[in-house]
Structure formats: C-alpha cells, structure tokens
Amino acid sequence: MVERSGFIPDAVVGIETGGLKVVESLTTPPPIVLRCRMARPSTELKKSRLGRCLLRSLPYALADRCRLIEDWIGSRNKSSVPSSTVELARCIDEIARIVAECGLTRVLVVDDAVDSGGTLGCVMKALRARLPEEVRVVSAVITRTRPPESTATEPDFALHSMVLCRFPWSFDYKALPA
C-alpha cells in the first residue's frame, strides 16, 4: 500500500516489538532499518511470567473475549498521546543522528497494530519534533482496531480496519501443533 502510494522510504522505523517483527519479515528489506520502543503500561503486565502463562493457557475463544473486553474498555474514552519515555527519547536521538548523517528525507514508521493510537502518536510526535521539517514521516500498520474518533492517532496506512489480529508475537499466541 505504501509503495503503491508513491512513498518510497529511505529508512523504516520498526516500533518494538510488533512493528520491528513486521519490518524484519518484509521480502524486500528496506535500505535502513531503525528501531524504537514505546510500550503501553498494560504491556508490562502481559509480559510478566504470570501474565504470559495465564494468557497462553486460555483457550482462544476465551482469549478473544478478553481481547474484546480490553479493547472495549480502552475505546470508551478518546485516547491521548502519552509523554515520551527516556528510552524513546534516546531512540529518537539515534534515529535523528542517522537521518542527518545519511541525508534521509523519507521515513516510514511501522507498527503491527493501532489500538488506542497512543504509542504510534507518541513516536510520530517525537520524530516530527526532532527531525528537520523537510523529512517526511509516514506511518503504516497491519491493523487499526478502533474507529478514528476513539484513537489518539490514525496511521497513514492500515491494511485492516476494525480487526483484532493475533500475531505470532502476541502474548496469547499458541503455536499450532506440528
């Protein structure tokens, strides 16, 4: 979709973890791959040993119901863009250094999904504030799960809309038996 639009990036920024996995899986790797990290507070709970064990033990039907409830609770109020973290600021400084050194003018930011839009919004805001005005920054995701009126930021490109996806790197993903 991005390529068909005519936007050919000089560099691609993958938001860890999902966005970076998407970038790494591209059949034609971009010339420069950069990374940044900005996790939601709920992600830390899911990453805990107890959270991972619980999520992976649930049958998909129950895990799907939990995802829908979590998304419904999150979508009840308009989301906002959170403040940047120290870790994200360091990543953005490194990205800005590379963009300046290499004379880049087109940067694509990739994530797997936009739920609240907070993570993508924070990364895009930080990049636009730190990069020169002539650098065009565009975003792309596999899916956005909520309508625009309940998200802090909308991606420029989304392969799916209003779809909850379970990716191989999702905390509740179970590998299929061989």
Give tens-digit pLDDT for 44-71: 555 566 666 666 777 777 877 777 777 7
Amino acid 173: pLDDT: 72
Can you give the residue range of the structural domain that contains 134?
A: 2-161
Neighbouring-strand partners of residue 95 = none
- 3-state SS track over 39-89: CCHHHHHHHCHHHHHHHHHCCHHHHHHHHHHHHHHHHCCCCCCCCCCHHHH
Residue 17 pLDDT class (50, 70, 90 cuts): confident
**Does 73 reside within a domain?**
yes
**Does 171 reside within a domain?**
no
Q: What is the mean pLDDT of residues 3-29?
A: 91
Higher pLDDT, residue 81 or 97:
97
Q: How many domains does the chain have?
A: 1
**Does 155 reside within a domain?**
yes
Higher pLDDT, residue 45 or 78:
78
Angle at CA 120, nearest 5°, toward 112 and 35? 70
**Does 168 reside within a domain?**
no
**Does 152 reside within a domain?**
yes
**Does 96 reside within a domain?**
yes
Give tens-digit pLDDT for 87-135: 999 999 999 999 999 999 999 999 999 988 899 999 999 999 999 999 9
Q: What is the mean pLDDT of residues 155-172?
A: 86
Q: Is the pLDDT of residue 140 over 80?
A: yes
Give tens-digit pLDDT for 21-49: 999 988 887 889 999 887 655 555 555 66
d(CA 160, CA 146): 11
CATH number at residue 108: 3.40.50
- Tokens for 92, please give them: 């953005």
